[in-house]
DNA sequence: TTACATATTTAGACTAGTCTAAATATTTGT
DNA sequence: ACAAATATTTAGACTAGTCTAAATATGTAA
C-alpha cells in the first residue's frame, strides 16, 4: 500500500499528539492546530486514513493509530531523528538548524537507506535534541527524564533533552552555554517566580527562568 | 518563486534531452517519452513553465530552458550526483542501486545542505557512474570521452563513464569486472559484428559486444 | 434541562497534476 | 503539391489535498 507524504505527516502528528497527554484519543482540532491545516480538511483526511486502516476513527470521538499506522509513524520519526544526527554529526549543522531539513528527508523511501544510515552513524540511540531514536523494530528507549521545574529539590542533574524544539529556544540554550549531557546543579529555587539558580558543569552560577526550567529535561545524576 | 518537485523533474528532463542531440530545442514527445507522461499533460506543464519564465516555449516548435530554468535544472543534477556519491562512498551502496534514491534526494531544498554535503564528500568532480558534477556555480567539467565503439583503432584507453545507466547494464559491467578508472586495452576489433577483444587492467582478455562498447565512455590513456 | 459555546462534519469550490479522446498543425513521401 | 502519417494541442474529466461557509453534534453552565 502506498502512503503519501501528506498521509505520513498526519500519522506522525497523531503519533506525537497521542504522547503529549494521557488521552490516547487525538482530536480533529488538535491535529488541525498542530499541522496548521483547517479542521474540515483534517476530517477529510481522517476518513481516508480510516479507509486505509491506518487509524481507528469514530466521528466526533477522535482518532487512534492502528498497528499499521503506528508502525508507519514510528518509522517516519526514526528517519527524522537519524537524519538529524547525520546533519549535526557529519555535516556540522547546529542543533537549531536541522529540523526543517529533516522534515523533508524523513519522507525518503528506502528501507535499505535507513538501515545503512543507521549503521553509518553508529546506531545512535538519541538525536541531537536528546529525543530517543526508535530502533529498526520500532522500539524506543524509554526516557525517565522530567522537566527541571518538576524537581522541587536542590541537587545534581544531567541535561538530557528539551520539551520545546523551537529554533529560538535552542539558540537560547546555546547562548547560555547548555548542551545535551551537561551537568546541572540546582543551587537555589526562588519561590516568588520559580526561577532556578544553577551551575552548569564547573562554570559560574546563573539563573534559569521557570519557562526555561520547564522546557529542559533532566535526569538525576548518578 | 516556488518550483514544485514536478516542475523540477520537467526542467531536468528538458536539460538532459537538450544535451543528447545537437538540437537545442526539445520536443513535447521527447519529454513525454522520457518521463512516461502523456504528451497532452506535457503541453499543459510547458505552458505553466513558460508562464513562470523557466522555459521558452513556442507551440508546435518545442522548448528551450531559460537562464533561470537552466540554473534550476543544473542544481537538481548537482544534488542528484552529490547524493549518489554519498550513497556509494559513505553508505557503501553499489553503483547500480543508487539512482532511485537519488531521484528522491535531489529534491531536498536547502542550499546550505548541498554546500555542506559537497564539502563532506571532498568536493567530488564525478559521480559513481563517471558523470561530471556541476560546481556551486553550475559549471561542469567538460568531458571529452567518447563511446568505445567510436574508436576504430586498437590502443589503450581508460574507462571513465557510461551512456546507459540502467541497473541491468551496470550490473553487467560489474559482473565483467569493469569499474570506473580501469584501463581498457583494445586488442582486436572484429569486423563482422563489431565486437571488441579487450584486456581490462592486467587481466585475461575478453569480448565486448558492440552494444556494450557503445555504452562505455573512454578516454585515450596518456 | 435547556440554551449557549465549542468542536466537528458536510457541502461546495479551487489548484496541481494527471488522463483520454478529439481537433488541429506539421512533416513526409510520392 | 497533396495525402497520409505523425506530432501537438485543446477540451473535458478525475484525484489528492486544500479552503470557506454552513450545518450538526457535543459539552457545559445556569
Given an 8 Å threshold on Cβ–Cβ distance, is B92 in contact with A116?
A: yes
For B91, which of A87, A92, A116 is closest by C-beta distance? Answer: A116
Interface membership of B94 toward A (CB under 8 Å): no
pTM (two decimals): 0.95
Q: What is the pLDDT of residue B141?
A: 84
Which parts of A14-151 are beta strand (E)? 55-58, 62-65, 146-147
Closest chain A residue by Cα to residue B104: A108
- Long-range contacts, A142-148 (Cβ 8 Å, 24+): A143/A217, A144/A219, A145/A217, A145/A218, A145/A219, A146/A217, A146/A218, A146/A219, A147/A213, A147/A214, A147/A215, A147/A216, A147/A217, A147/A218, A148/A184, A148/A186, A148/A196, A148/A208, A148/A213, A148/A214, A148/A216, A148/A217, A148/A218
Task: State the nearest Cα–Cα gap between B94 and chain A, in angstroms.
Answer: 12
* Tens digit of each residue's pLDDT, chain A (222 residues): 899 999 999 999 999 999 988 778 999 999 999 999 999 999 999 999 999 999 999 999 999 999 999 999 999 999 999 999 999 999 999 999 999 999 999 999 999 999 999 999 999 999 999 999 999 999 998 878 999 999 888 999 999 999 999 999 999 999 999 999 999 999 999 989 999 999 999 999 999 999 999 999 999 988
Please tell me the distance from the alpha carbon of residue A183 to that of residue A199, in angstroms, as a whole number. Answer: 8
Question: Three cell numbers at B129?
Answer: 557512474
A38 has a chain B CB within 8 A of its CB: no
A92 touches chain B (CB under 8 A): yes
Give one DSSP letter per residue of B69-125, joined into a string: HHHHHHHHHHHHHHHHHIIIIIT---TTSSHHHHHHHTT---HHHHHHHHHHTT--S
Q: Which of A45, A104, A85, A40 lies closest to A69 in space, CA to CA?
A: A45
* Nearest-neighbour CA in chain B from A10: distance (Å): 20
Residues of B in contact with A110 (CB under 8 A): 100-101, 104
Subunit contact A104:B108, Cβ cutoff 8 A = yes
CB contact under 8 A, A110 and B92: no
Chain C bases near protein CB atoms (7 A cut-off): 7-12, 16-22, 25-26
B109 touches chain A (CB under 8 A): yes
Amino acid at each position: 500500500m502506498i502512503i503519501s507524504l501528506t498521509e505520513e505527516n498526519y500519522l506522525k502528528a497523531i503519533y506525537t499528539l497521542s504522547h503529549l497527554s494521557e488521552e490516547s484519543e487525538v482530536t480533529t482540532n488538535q491535529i488541525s492546530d498542530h499541522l496548521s491545516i483547517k479542521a474540515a480538511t483534517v476530517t477529510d483526511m481522517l476518513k481516508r486514513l480510516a479507509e486505509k486502516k491506518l487509524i481507528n476513527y469514530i466521528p466526533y470521538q477522535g482518532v487512534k493509530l492502528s498497528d499499521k499506522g503506528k508502525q508507519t509513524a514510528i518509522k517516519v520519526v526514526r528517519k527524522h531523528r537519524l537524519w538529524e544526527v547525520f546533519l549535526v554529526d557529519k555535516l556540522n549543522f547546529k542543533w537549531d538548524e536541522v529540523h526543517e531539513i529533516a522534515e523533508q528527508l524523513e519522507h525518503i523511501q528506502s528501507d535499505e537507506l535507513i538501515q545503512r544510515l543507521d549503521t553509518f552513524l553508529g546506531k545512535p540511540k538519541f538525536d541531537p535534541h536528546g529525543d530517543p531514536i526508535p530502533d529498526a523494530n520500532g522500539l524506543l528507549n524509554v526516557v525517565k527524564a522530567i522537566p527541571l521545574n518538576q524537581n522541587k529539590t536542590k541537587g545534581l542533574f544531567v541535561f538530557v533533552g528539551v520539551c520545546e524544539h523551537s529554533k529560538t529556544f535552542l539558540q537560547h540554550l546555546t547562548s547560555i552555554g547548555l548542551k545535551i549531557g551537561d551537568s546541572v546543579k540546582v543551587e537555589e529555587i526562588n519561590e516568588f517566580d520559580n526561577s532556578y539558580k544553577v551551575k552548569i558543569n564547573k562554570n559560574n552560577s546563573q539563573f534559569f527562568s521557570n519557562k526555561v526550567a520547564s522546557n529542559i529535561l533532566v535526569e538525576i545524576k548518578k
